[in-house]
Amino acid sequence: MAETPAEPTRRDFLLHAAGAFGVVGVAAAAWPFIDQMNPDASTRALAAVEVDIAGVEPGQAITIMWRGKPVVIRNRTEKEVEEGKAVKLEDLKDPLARNANADANADATDANRAAAGKENILVMTKVCTHLGCIPLDESGEFGGWFCPCHGSVYDTAGRIRKGPAPENLPIPPYAFLTDTKIRIG
Amino acid sequence: MSGHSTYVPKTALGKWFEARLPVVRLLHDTAVSYPTPRNLNALWTFGGILSAMLVVQIVTGIVLAMHYAADSRVAFQSVEGIMRDVNWGWLIRYLHSNGASMFFIAVYIHIFRGLYYGSYKAPREILWILGVIIYLLMMAAGFMGYVLPWGQMSFWGATVITNFFTAIPIIGQPIQTLLIGGFSVDNATLNRFFSLHYLIPFLIAGVVVLHIWALHVAGQNNPLGIDVKSDKDTVPFTPYATSKDVLWIVLFMIFYGWFVFYQPNFLGHPDNYIEANPLATPAHIVPEWYFLPFYAILRAIDFNIGPIDAKLGGVLAMFGAIAVLAFLPWLDTSKVRSGNFRPIFRVAFWVFAVNALFLGYLGSVKTDDIILGMQAVRWAQLSTAYYFAYFLIILPLLGYIEKPKPLPLSINDAILAKSAAGSAH
């Protein structure tokens, strides 16, 4: 027989087709065994929480759990609001508002970080954007939050000012149901 | 050196077995007649010590799993129940937690032995890479095990380490969600870490079998780094190496026992005796000591490199510090294995060893602490630079510029020369 490479035969096609079906079968069987580790139905169904903030005086903050993470609601003092407003946008490490209630490209001005029409109320997820620790309240050199894990510092509007964290503390979706009641989520 | 087998079945039962499943032959060739270089020093007993520690961890771990409950509501209490109520529970728990530290002490000595004597060089590259895989599996097992008591360090260590993955662009966040099974570290995370912490030691045992297999194909390296040339260079594994291994395992167990019985919490962190609190991160969060050098490398990168921000850069540097080990056989260009014959290498190696310890120290302090007039984070940057320079610059260059000392003709020659020199005095 000549040694010239033979044209692909129909038998070759059968071998490749069988192999391809095998690969698809293995992938289809593997996916459920990977996807089972994703959040389960009870986790995904986590409902919104409602919070009464009537008792939170200026200068006070409460922390509630939402989706397993702390959300801080701070009634800021006038001084804190003024400090937040006085910061120039170009001095910020992260220029975006990171506010789920505002436009994705909104600037990180103090107004875009605070509640609409209530510039003293700051609602945000208190999870450091570096590696997920909880920053300490009323600490750090910018009068806001300080993360003890790797030294990130946030200002009075929860914006990142110093340290390894790349972004401002995120603001979750929320709405005022009444003047003193907030729904988060 | 995997020569032909010398096993001859003598008894009728032995012959019957041999014709059906020659497992006795396999054991005899592996653990009895296997030729061992006759000049091995005590550093060569750490493979045996590591095998012993793997057995200790698996046995104590299985026992602990009989009393531990992987549920975030009761995990912490179940560990306290082991300490207070389970018969000998305090002993078994401390053996397991300190056992992890001993395992890592032994593996670091084992790795540095290999680094110094060139045990990663041809024909032992696969042996070395299997070792790097075991090391990665050990770190994964050590990390997940530390999460199980559900103390403050458990919870926040799990948060920080799973957040490493969020540094990866685009796919990072979905990977993290997949790992922790929710929006934050919670019961789902604890549950799966328990399952994986049980699985990984058996994966390690499987890779250890391959590791020993590769060792027995290539043959053991020795302090001279030269190949075995004749039967005069070796002794049978049993009884010579076996008894020496057992002696050093016993000595190591005394060291281990001292920690378990007199300082069981010295190597741990007191904050892990506080139950996990998802609302408060402890002020002094520090990883387990055996992760400190890599933690220091992670924190050293506090600057952006082009499109790579500090967070991703730190994670890449940390994983790169381990990944570079896998490429070591091809980075060291010198033909001479043992550091004993490499004058410049010896200096670079010892600086590397001291630098690794220093990185560990830097991982334990705050980044803005001042050490000898400089911030710890700046020292960590220098140390990280040397860590990578050793592998990527110094070792590749040394092979070309270094003039090694003359090598002895054989292991036997070197021993005879040494004893002749000794008797002349």
- What is the CATH number for B100? 1.20.810.10
Q: What is the mean pLDDT of residues B341-362?
A: 98
Q: What is the pLDDT of residue A46?
A: 76
- The domain in which residue B123 lies consists of 34-424
Alpha helices in A47-166 (DSSP H): 78-86, 110-113
DSSP per-residue codes, B339-403: GGG-HHHHHHHHHHHHHHHHHHHHHHS-TT-EETTEEHHHHHHHHHHHHHHIIIIIHHHHHHH--
The pLDDT of residue B423 is above 80: no
**Across the strands, what pairs with A121?**
A75
CB B45 within 8 Å of CB B249: yes
**Across the strands, what pairs with A99?**
A171
Q: What is the mean pLDDT of residues B116-121?
A: 98
Q: Which residues of A touch B152 (CB under 8 A)?
A: none
Task: Based on the fold, state whether residues B81 and B22 are members of the same structural domain.
Answer: no
Task: Based on the fold, state whether residues B241 and B321 are members of the same structural domain.
Answer: yes
Q: How far is A3 from chain B (nearest CA, A)?
A: 38
Burial class (CB in 10 A: 0-12, 13-18, 19+), B197: buried
Task: Based on the fold, state whether residues B25 and B46 are members of the same structural domain.
Answer: no
pLDDT less than 70: residues of chain A: 1-5
pLDDT-derived band of residue B4, with 50, 70 and 90 as boundaries?
A: low
Phi, psi (rounded to 5 degrees) for A144: -120, -100
Q: What is the mean pLDDT of residues B128-155?
A: 97
Percentage, residues of chain B above pLDDT 70 = 98
Query: Which candidate in A150, A151, A177, A180 is catalytic?
Result: A150
CB B263 within 8 Å of CB B102: no
* CA-angle at B232, arms to B226 and B236, nearest 5°: 95
Is the bond leading into B293 cis (omega within 30 degrees of zero)? no
Phi, psi (rounded to 5 degrees) for A39: -50, 135
Q: What is the pLDDT of residue A115?
A: 85
Classify B408 in phi/psi space as left (phi over 0), alpha (psi -120 to 50) or beta: beta
Of A34, A130, A133, the CB nearest to B311: A130
Q: Which residues of A have a CB under 8 Å from any CB of B?
A: 34, 37-40, 43, 46, 63, 65, 67-70, 127, 130-134, 136, 147-151, 163-166
pLDDT in tens, B74-94: 999 999 999 999 999 999 999
Token pair of B379, please? 């020292």
- 3-state SS class at B174: helix
Q: Does A67 sit within 8 Å of B183, measured CB to CB?
A: yes
Q: What is the DSSP letter of B284?
A: T
Respond yes or no: is residue A150 known to be catalytic: yes
Q: What is the pLDDT of residue A4?
A: 65
* Strand ranges of the sheet holding A174-178, from the earlier edge strand across to the other edge: A49-52, A181-184, A174-178
Supply the angle between the helices B125-147 and B89-117 in degrees, to the nearest 10: 150
CB A155 within 8 Å of CB A85: no
Task: Based on the fold, state whether residues B14 and B121 are members of the same structural domain.
Answer: no
The pLDDT of residue B411 is above 90: yes
Task: Based on the fold, state whether residues B88 and B4 are members of the same structural domain.
Answer: no
* Cβ within 8 Å of residue B18, ≥6 positions away: B9, B24, B25
Q: Does A63 sit within 8 Å of B156, measured CB to CB?
A: no
Q: What is the mean pLDDT of residues B208-226?
A: 96
pLDDT in tens, B143-152: 999 999 999 9
Q: What is the mean pLDDT of residues B314-326?
A: 96
Compare A160 and B366 and report the one with higher pLDDT: A160
Reported as type and span, the H/E element at residue A24 is helix A10-35
Task: Based on the fold, state whether residues B131 and B16 are members of the same structural domain.
Answer: no
pLDDT in tens, B267-302: 999 999 999 999 888 887 889 999 999 999 998 988
Q: What is the mean pLDDT of residues B376-400?
A: 96
Q: What is the mean pLDDT of residues B351-365?
A: 96
Compare A68 and B423 and report the one with higher pLDDT: A68
DSSP per-residue codes, B80-116: HHHHHTSTTHHHHHHHHHHHHHHHHHHHHHHHHHHHH
This prediction's pTM: 0.92
Q: What is the pLDDT of residue A68?
A: 84
Alpha helices in B118-151 (DSSP H): 125-147
Q: Does A133 sit within 8 Å of B156, measured CB to CB?
A: yes
CA distance B324 to B238: 36
Q: How far is A133 from chain B (nearest CA, A)?
A: 6
The pLDDT of residue B394 is above 90: yes
CB A148 within 8 Å of CB B284: yes
Q: How far is B232 from chain A (nearest CA, A)?
A: 53
* Cβ within 8 Å of residue A102, ≥6 positions away: A112
Task: Based on the fold, state whether residues B20 and B126 are members of the same structural domain.
Answer: no
Task: Based on the fold, state whether residues B12 and B78 are members of the same structural domain.
Answer: no
pLDDT in tens, B103-112: 999 999 999 9
Interface test with A, best of B153, B156, B196, B271 (most A CBs within 10 A): B156
How many domains in chain B? 2
Q: What is the pLDDT of residue A5?
A: 67
Is the bond leading into B223 cis (omega within 30 degrees of zero)? no
Of A37, A43, A131, the CB nearest to B192: A37
Q: What is the DSSP letter of B368?
A: T
Q: Provide the mean pLDDT of chain B.
A: 94
Q: Does B280 sit within 8 Å of A38, measured CB to CB?
A: no
Task: Based on the fold, state whether residues B93 and B16 are members of the same structural domain.
Answer: no
Q: What is the pLDDT of residue B1?
A: 43
CB B282 within 8 Å of CB B275: no
Q: Does A133 sit within 8 Å of B285, measured CB to CB?
A: yes
Task: Based on the fold, state whether residues B1 and B98 are members of the same structural domain.
Answer: no
Q: How far is B254 from chain A (nearest CA, A)?
A: 36
One-letter amino acid identity for B266?
F
Task: Based on the fold, state whether residues B62 and B27 are members of the same structural domain.
Answer: no
Residue of A nearest to B182 (CA): A39
One-letter amino acid identity for B227?
D
Interface test with A, best of B160, B162, B171, B284 (most A CBs within 10 A): B160
pLDDT-derived band of residue B366, with 50, 70 and 90 as boundaries?
A: confident
CB B226 within 8 Å of CB B72: no
Task: Based on the fold, state whether residues B27 and B170 are members of the same structural domain.
Answer: no
Q: Which residues of B touch A132 (CB under 8 A)?
A: 159-160, 162-163, 166, 184
Compare B68 and B303 and report the one with higher pLDDT: B68
**Across the strands, what pairs with A26?**
none
Burial class (CB in 10 A: 0-12, 13-18, 19+), A143: middle
Q: Which residues of A touch B314 (CB under 8 A)?
A: 164
CA distance A67 to A53: 19
Q: How far is B326 from chain A (nearest CA, A)?
A: 27
Pairing mode of beta strands A143-146, A69-75: unpaired
Supply the angle between the helices B152-163 and B187-218 in degrees, to the nearest 10: 70
* Cβ within 8 Å of residue B416, ≥6 positions away: none
